[in-house]
Amino acid sequence: YRARSITSSKMDQQTLNVKSPNIANPSRISNIVVGNLDELAKKKAAIRAAGMSSLQVIADFDMTLTKYMVEGRRGQSTHALLSQGSTDYDRKRQELFDIYYPMEISPNIPVEEKTKLMETWWGKSHGLLVEGGLNIENIRQSVEKGTVGFREGIADLFEILDGEGVPLLIFSAGLADIIEEILRQKLHRTFPNIRVVSNRMNFDKDGNLTGFIGKTIHVLNKNEHALEMAAPLHDEEGHSVGSNGNGSSFIKGRKNVILLGDHLGDLGMSDGVAYDNRISVGFLNENVENWLDTYRRAFDIVVLNDGTLDCVVELIQELR
Report the catalytic residues.
60, 62
DSSP string, 253-274: T--EEEEEESSGGGGGGGTTS-
Asked if residue 47 lies in contact with residue 277, where contact means CB atoms within 8 angstroms, the answer is yes
225 binds, among Mg ion, ligand C5P, none (CB under 5 to 8 A by kind): none
Among 18, 43, 56, 60, binds ligand C5P (CB under 6 A): 60
203 lies in the binding site for ligand C5P (CB under 6 A):
no
**Minimum distance from CB of 191 to ligand C5P (Å)?**
18
Asked if residue 320 lies in contact with residue 52, where contact means CB atoms within 8 angstroms, the answer is yes
Footprint of Mg ion on 251-270 (CB under 5 A): 262
173 binds, among Mg ion, ligand C5P, none (CB under 5 to 8 A by kind): ligand C5P
Please report how many Cα atoms fall inside a 13 Å half-sphere around the Cα of residue 131, on the Cβ side. Answer: 11
Among 16, 62, 138, 313, binds Mg ion (CB under 5 A): 62
Among 6, 32, 33, 62, binds ligand C5P (CB under 6 A): 62
- Stretch of 1-9, 54-62, 185-193, 309-317 contacting ligand C5P, by CB under 6 A: 54-62
Q: How far is CA 101 from the centre of its chain?
A: 16
Identity of the residue, 77 or 270, whose beta carbon is nearer to ligand C5P in the bound complex:
77
221 lies in the binding site for ligand C5P (CB under 6 A):
no
Among 154, 173, 196, 279, binds ligand C5P (CB under 6 A): 173
230-253 core/surface letters (b: 16 or more CB in 10 A; e: else): ebeeeeeeeeeebbbbbbbebbee
Residue 174 has a CB neighbour count (10 Å cut-off) of 25
Among 22, 30, 31, 125, binds ligand C5P (CB under 6 A): 125
CB proximity list for 277: less than 8 A, separation 6 or greater: 43, 46, 47, 50, 255, 256, 257
97 lies in the binding site for ligand C5P (CB under 6 A):
yes
Give the residues lining the site for ligand C5P (CB under 6 A): 60-63, 77, 79-80, 97, 101, 104, 121-122, 125, 172-174, 219
